[in-house]
Structure 1
Amino acid sequence: MTEKTPRDLWLIDLGTIDYGEALALQRAIVAAKKAGEFEPDLLLLLEHPAVITLGRRGDERNVVASPETLAARDIRVHRIERGGDVTYHGPGQLVGYPIVALRHLPKRQDVGNFVWNMQEAIIRTLADYDLPSERIDKVIGVWRRSEPPPLDRLGWSADRQRAVARQTAYEARKIAAIGARIEGWISFHGFALNVNSDLDDFNLIVPCGLQDRGVTSMEVELGHPVPLDEVKARVAAQLAALWGFRAVQRSVADLAPLFGAWATRP
């Protein structure tokens, strides 16, 4: 029997992009796929400037920074349609937005299975760096569970260590947040993996609305920065393999026939 050729998963690196602009692009691609005007399945890979997002049931009280503090730092808060509560995005964090028709996956998946595979891709990637990680029941994401990592090996100031320790001084620390949305069996939103994130920024919120857990990053857990492009390639390869796709590097210019001015912007 001839083996079926896997579908391509377009990997498109958007670099650093404003959250609102990336959200508009996701929504446009989803609408085009639902209308039958755009067939490829995509994984958008990017970083965001500092921004806070609230999911469908997110509690605004979990944004603990004052409006004045956020305004002074030019940090906007977006209420969006993904699941989950509040999260922070910023430099040093790998964000991935899979825009995939679930009918193209080996087995038709619901949101739970789709999220499970995103978690698994990150768990396998972290294992490549000797960072065991896990799921926690009823709390979506990927977690490190161990003694808090030492911060003095990172060469940071005492003030920065104290600020970061407010997040890392927990036995359970979230290293990746996940929040998906499925419309017409097409996915969008996705995952955010803390690679070299400034964890002090998470003190602006109660991450995911969880008072008794913290956050961490690959940099903090390993004791040194990690090349983000390297992590990006590993996560994309793991996700494509789990979904039975063939990962193919494409350019944002490949979106030009559909999105014209957006894809060809400077």
Structure 2
Amino acid sequence: MNKKVILQDLGLKDYKETWDYQEELFQEIVDQKIQNRRNGTQEPTQNHFLFVEHPHVYTLGKSGNMDNLLVNEAQLKAKEASFYKINRGGDITYHGPGQIVGYPILDLDNFFTDIHKYLRLLEEMVILTLAEYGLKCERSEGETGVWLDVGTPFARKICAMGVRASRWVTMHGFALNINANLGYFDLMIPCGIKDKAVTSLNVELGQKTVDMDEVKGKLLKHFEHLFEAELSQAKVVS
């Protein structure tokens, strides 16, 4: 079991380019697993963790409803935003500057073969990170992601999640609002949930901006502990 995880921070990168790169890494792992099975070998499979910020983009998961995007193509263009239907679970999500997007591409055979546990640990990673900023965040039953003031009229989501897994290999991941422009969330029904708001860490802390690299460091610390993983830095892909 290879618990080493290759970390890459891609900076600001187009959604489609990043999606293609995810697919490439994902397929390499799947191909190695197929080869091992065919040949009776045990060559180790790699694990990856990508950090990225995207230009304004809306993505719709396999089970999503197109009606949850509240603007047309011309209005998207006016907002300098793009739109993609993608192969993760979940409904509609927004990504944009000021948001930490994380894509763990893991062979869960190296960790545990339980998608429910995988999602709960990603949520826990975010909950523990935000606790370091004095925020009490939690899960909302039946709604994947991380929330504040669950069960009250003030419930609001700070981190969205949506993953895909095949042959126990994961892709896609989480989007944590740090210094996000929340106005872009008004152009959709976030995750298809009509009665709850969205927030960002800088808003919750009453700050203009929060150091995103500091947040990434805290996320990685908790990721390593929760997944019993060993992170190693890779060269940034241009």
Q: TM-score, normalised by structure 2?
A: 0.91
Partner of 1:55: 61
Find the partner of 1:77 among 74, 83, 87: 83
Find the partner of 2:178 among 184, 195, 201: 195
- 1:112-163 Cα offsets, whole Å, 9 max, x none, are 11110100000000000001100010011100117x9xxxxxxxxxxxxxxx
Partner of 1:133: 137
Partner of 2:223: 239
Secondary structure in structure 1 of the residue aligned to 2:222: helix
Find the partner of 2:22 among 20, 23, 26: 26
Structure 2 spans left out of the alignment, 5+ residues? 36-43
Partner of 1:46: 52
Q: Does 2:168 match 1:185? A: yes
Secondary structure in structure 1 of the residue aligned to 2:62: coil
Amino acid across the alignment from 1:35:
D
Amino acid across the alignment from 2:91:
D
Counting only pairs closer than 5 Å after superposition, residues 161-176 of structure 1 correspond to structure 2 as 171-176=154-159
Runs of 4+ in structure 1 off by over 4 angstroms are: none
Q: TM-score, normalised by structure 1?
A: 0.81
CA distance in 2 between partners of 1:238 and 1:56 (Å): 29
Amino acid across the alignment from 2:194:
Q
Partner of 2:113: 109
Secondary structure in structure 1 of the residue aligned to 2:81: coil
Percent identity over the alignment? 39
Q: Please say which of residues 212-221 and 33-42 is displaced more in the overlay.
A: 33-42
Shift of 1:40: 2.2
RMSD: 1.9
Secondary structure in structure 1 of the residue aligned to 2:231: strand
Shift of 1:17: 0.5
Amino acid across the alignment from 2:196:
R
1:11/1:236 contact within 8 Å kept: no
Secondary structure in structure 2 of the residue aligned to 1:35: helix
1:9/1:240 contact within 8 Å kept: no
Partner of 1:206: 189
Shift of 1:110: 2.1
CA distance in 1 between partners of 2:168 and 2:213 (Å): 30
Shift of 1:68: 1.4
Amino acid across the alignment from 2:203:
V
Partner of 1:222: 205
CA distance in 2 between partners of 1:251 and 1:234 (Å): 21
Partner of 1:155: none
Shift of 1:246: 1.4
